[in-house]
Amino acid sequence: MNRYLSTCGVVLLLLLGCRSETQPVDNVRIRWPRDPETLHPHTLANALAIQAINLTYQSLLAIDAPNQRIVPWLAEALPVVRQAGNTSYLTYHIRPAATWDDGQPITAQDILFTLKTMRCPNLPNERMRATYGFVRSVQLDSADARHFTLVCDQFAPDYVLTSGDFAVLPEHLLDPKHQLRAFSLKGLDSADAKSPVVAAFVGRFSQARLEQSPGKYGSGPYRLKSWQSGQRLVFARKKPWWGDKIVPTPAPLLARPPQISFHIIPDQNTAFLALRRGDIDVYSSLPAPYYQQLASSATDQKQIALFAPDSYEAVTVGFNTKKPVLADRLTRQAISHLFDIPTLIKATQQGLAYQSASLISPHDKHYYNDSLAPVAFSPARAVKLLQQAGWQQQPDKSWKRPHRTGQALSLALTISYRAGDAAYEFSALQLRTEAGKLGIPINLRPTESSILTQQLQAGEFDLYLRSLIGNPFAHNFLPLLHSGSTGVNGGNYTGFGNASTDALLTELAAAQDTVQKKQLLRRLQRVLQQESPLTVLYFKRNPLAISRRFTDLGLSGLPPGYEATRFLVQQQP
């Protein structure tokens, strides 16, 4: 602890004693709390990685976040959708101006090749393989190399976005001998990883080192200029770039700053000092106390603009439903009642958050189930629920319950969360305090982010604190809650699910009618509150601090809350 504080003091002194190098006024400098782990466009390690990948790679479609709508990016228009029996067809046309950096056109063969890399064995594509498995084949157009149709199993409303939401890769650079053309999409699902053709392709593909995001493999407006691990990533604007030919320029193709850099500053105090000194221009997810401090400073507000848009980020507590002590819903409900959520919001978010009864934001008036009440802080209610679940409090205040093995279960839990996050730490400590008063020991387990993910996937936890980030375009909870999504490669960490809930989730994912979707979502929210595989503590706002040098910020509730490619330098009066 003392060594850490001493090190921070040295860093602060160095920052105070040194001026940063002069930056052109239209360059954008963004604070990041950590490295993005990898920039591989098909791994999508975290939100930071996605933000950087979107500078260098492009997909067929994009999100116009400020207006909450899906818009064309590489595609010339949204797909034309046709259904016939159990098959759906989504037809696209790529913009005629779209080219790779070497001038080669982006064609339907690149789309097919990219989909094949998601199905090819021995590549880091588990998530993509699951997400895009619904694409059965691609129909090419012999008369137009930029025209194609995705042939898909069944149809779900989120196909419209999902079908165009992957980074497109250049076949002529990554597979110049066209070796993957020997396989169909379905053929790659069952291909032998030891096949000479597959092994040769995987070796060559791996040598491209997409995790370092070399600019030549993306069609986006920026290239990765440098990456100093733990310090800075710098992206430089390409000149020329194919998007410059599109006039007037649609919002997704705007790329105004000549350089966008991400400055890795893990320590929040150091980052706040850098913001106030003008060494960074953007600080998202600004800690609430800093937000309030800036809001009360007339001097700071001359240089820094503050925003707090709603977000789709929900802070949740998840339960390992496969653990015997947490296998029944009453015990999970009881533990949920030990979180003092209003106090958490006040202490960790300075009021810049709000409670919710479900994974749907209460600000979504159409789909939120307003007949449900958020979980209330009530130790007395927790005790009653534990007793109903068969737990018996012992003379030493501990809780025990008979088990089919013949040995009594003891109610003692460990809560896991990302190390270094003050809000998670406070929430875990608050739970430990309240649970301790009832005789329930809670062990805290702060863990480095990538290791935590591995532990959650392996089921090596009791409780976890974690943020879930949604969006307003789809309500497909299959990856999060379906029983088939459990396991090492799945996203259902809680292990929740049965035939009834799986059927509900599947029906919801396929729902096209707005009325039907509303009814199904209201049912799902009620089931989740009753079964309590996870509990929403609160939805966060996204406190943002951005230099007043810039305008046209593209503010929205979707992460990161702004669009740096749109930033335009304010004209001085």
- 70-114, pLDDT tens digit by residue? 999 999 999 999 999 889 999 999 999 999 999 999 999 999 999
Tell me if 434 sits within 8 A of 340, measured CB to CB.
Answer: yes
SS3 letters across 77-112:
CCCEEEEECCEEEEEEEECCCCECCCCCECCHHHHH
Residue 13 scores a pLDDT above 50: no
Amino acid 157: pLDDT: 77
Between CA 44 and CA 42 the distance in angstroms is 6
Share of the chain above pLDDT 90, in %: 75
Query: Mean pLDDT over residues 459-485, rounded?
Result: 89
- Tens digit of each residue's pLDDT (9 = 90 or more) over 289-337: 899 999 999 999 999 999 999 888 999 999 999 999 999 999 999 999 9
Res 369: pLDDT: 96
The full DSSP string for 432-469 is HHHHHHTT--EEEEEE-HHHHHHHHHTT--SEEEEEEE
pLDDT band at 15 (very low <50, low <70, confident <90, very high): very low
The answer to whether residues 538 and 465 touch, using CB atoms and an 8 Å cutoff, is no
Domains of the chain plus CATH, in order, are 21-43+220-309+542-569 (3.40.190.10), 58-216 (3.90.76.10), 312-540 (3.10.105.10)
Provide the pLDDT for residue 22: 55
Q: Classify 473 as helix, strand or coil.
A: coil
Output the average pLDDT for the chain.
91
pLDDT score of 214 more than 90: no
Model confidence pLDDT, tens digit, residues 397-439: 999 999 887 889 999 999 999 998 989 999 999 999 999 999 9
Q: What is the mean pLDDT of residues 354-367?
A: 92
Q: Could you give phi then psi for residue 290, rounded to 5 degrees?
A: -70, -40
User: Has residue 115 got a pLDDT over 70?
Assistant: yes
Mean pLDDT to the nearest integer, 115-141 = 90
pLDDT exceeds cutoff 60 at 162: yes
Q: Output the six-digit token pair for 61.
A: 């479609």
Q: Give the model's pLDDT for residue 573.
A: 57
- pLDDT score recorded for residue 245: 94
Of 329, 287, 362, 330, the C-alpha closest to 536 is 362
Q: What is the pLDDT of residue 460?
A: 96
- φ, ψ of residue 243 in degrees (nearest 5): -65, -20
Top-confidence residue, 490 or 558 = 558
Instruction: Assign 302 to helix, strand or coil.
Output: helix
Q: How confident is the model at residue 131 (pLDDT cuts 50, 70, 90)?
A: confident
- CA 16-18-24 angle, to 5 degrees, is 115
Q: Give the per-residue pLDDT at 5.
A: 30
As a whole number, mean pLDDT of residues 358-370 equals 92
Helical H segments across 97-226, by residue range: 108-119, 126-131, 159-162, 171-174, 185-189, 196-207
Q: Residue 19: which pLDDT band, with cuts at 50, 70 and 90?
A: very low
Rounded to two decimals, what is the model's pTM? 0.77
Residue 11 has pLDDT above 60, yes or no: no
Higher pLDDT, 132 or 427: 427
pLDDT higher for 478 or 551?
Answer: 551
Is the model's pLDDT at 7 over the cut of 60?
Answer: no
Q: What digits encode the pLDDT tens for the residues 225-247?
A: 999 999 999 999 999 999 999 99
Non-local CB neighbours of 47 within 8 Å, separated by 6+ positions: 469, 559, 560
CA nearest to 107, candidates 170, 178, 59: 170
Average pLDDT over residues 358-385: 95
Eight-class DSSP state of 564? G
Which among 94-103, 214-223, 510-519 has the top mean pLDDT? 94-103
